[in-house]
Structure 1
């Protein structure tokens, strides 16, 4: 519904940011989403078929989600209604649904665009379902968060999730040219500064337009000497990297750091570490994750890795930023270049499953203490062999419950220190078999 200002044409003359003025006027001029809007794109096919189903737009800020929703309403001849989940409540939804019903009775459809749809709680999301099912609204939800975790399964089952990609360097460069054409003026930047401006936008078209506008406003027309990268940095505030430490960015980057360490790539690991620190992540959170990597992915291949990881955490705790961040960088390199083994991790998981399956079996009596006469009479401690008194300091007795067969949970890898551990366990296994008789599981009270 147009306001009185729009009807009078006054809004068109009001000051508007360059980012708003650069909005594409057709789907064909949207930049960077060719997989959706190209010749064989899914949205292109929907429009060509004349039937737009409810969709969820998932992607980072400044990639065109709102613009595409508006243009879809135009080409499908639907009334465009926009809501922000941050500013709207149940009453707002009811008004929108009532108005959509009234339009439907008049033969008109409604495209309801809900920005930040993941901010609605579960019951609010459920309110969309009947109106989506009967065609009262075509829902276009936009979210920067993973819909799998943030949206009701019922909403997802009635929608198609479309991923918007962050704008790459070429798309942003094209957008910058459009901005210059629109303003009738070239940005006074040398090639390196121009590339730096694109990097500052971090895949966000709206951010790039805002940065470009800042440069144009801060420089005079006819400037002869182009700005360098250093001069550009002084002129505009560098935008923080795209990273929300409480949402998807947080989990994506820590996953990238963890997998780079596991994959023995110190350079990639350092890059993701730097990205997280630059984005404002709590360094002690990173330190805790590095400790986890030391025990999960390196383990017995280099048991000292855990010592190094804990030392780095303590060093950061002692030094603080920025000095302590070097300790995190050092241990990141150490962990990435250490031999890898998840044998202890896998062994614990297997032992945990077995413990749950077998319930509350008691330990074999020969390894139980007998502080009272009654317990001695019951056979507690009978036949126990003190390992330090045995040949090779190894008795080979059974330590599993009598009701269980012996199982091997821990299977050492041939990497790093664990290779020695494997040889030691193999030797002990042979001794155990010899002392228990013909490979029979040792113990059962025997010494």
Structure 2
């Protein structure tokens, strides 16, 4: 049986990881681009601009935010994420897709019931500073290196599982839209000659859009608003209560849960994401985003899974560049694009996300349960899907914590084998 030891600490690894390759030139980017990589970037953007945006709108509406504040929030997260994605992917020549922390948005929801928006903004700024400090000190990489990969990937599998179940539910509830998408994906995958000219996920996207249009399920409510985004500055208020409630949970969500997913997904795809540099970049970007009233930036797991869903490993960075460009465009035209995205039926977005995430979900299960640390991986998976929340911190974090404790108590032989090997 093959064992998967925990990542060993490399004393020679510099605090800030060097790229190891020269940055991609414009000529490199043009040469390495292709329709498959562009479609992966587009799918990633559609995912990020649909469900996650709906969560922001829902949380903001419940918290009494104005339409201008909501538009500024959306502008901030996509602008910062897009710029950071392009820079990091070009420099490291690997897909490094940055967006915003969805669990972090969910954390803000209850807080807006008793905190003012300026107080929340103040917590955003302090969170950015904390993330930056933890990245600069190198603590983030040390923590992630200490956790066996099967445990991290089991957390990823638990988070990604809902994409698979949502796909099945969508076929059941809206077969007119979802079924043609699934059939198209299966055919293009099963017949490589067809898939070569039309990538399976892109085919599902196109067929689904046609099905939505023909079935009359694309419905704009209230017409298209003003297209151009207008950022709003909200002066922060430094509230001790807001700091205690939001800062630590938000930082943990970004560094351990979100960045942990992103790093694990990229490593499973054969890449070597810079853990400390990513943390520092997220801290800087989160500070800029807070100026627009936006939640923290993170190396998102689902988006990077979509960016690495197909193609040659050495060319997948171009999918991230496409995603980054589309993110910036979405930020600039956030009000109009948001309305258009939300006009599509939920089944279209859920089916597209489920289809695109199948390979990533498969890889997460394979890495989690193929060798060592299988018990702790199972515990991590179960806790992650349970929805457990303690101290305003979600189940994905507690899944890793509890799984790691179980591994130390009950799988000591696996550690010994890993250290010996």
Normalising by structure 1, we get a TM-score of 0.20
Structure whose CA Rg is larger: 1
Normalising by structure 2, we get a TM-score of 0.21
Q: Identify, as 1 or 2, the structure richer in strand.
A: 1
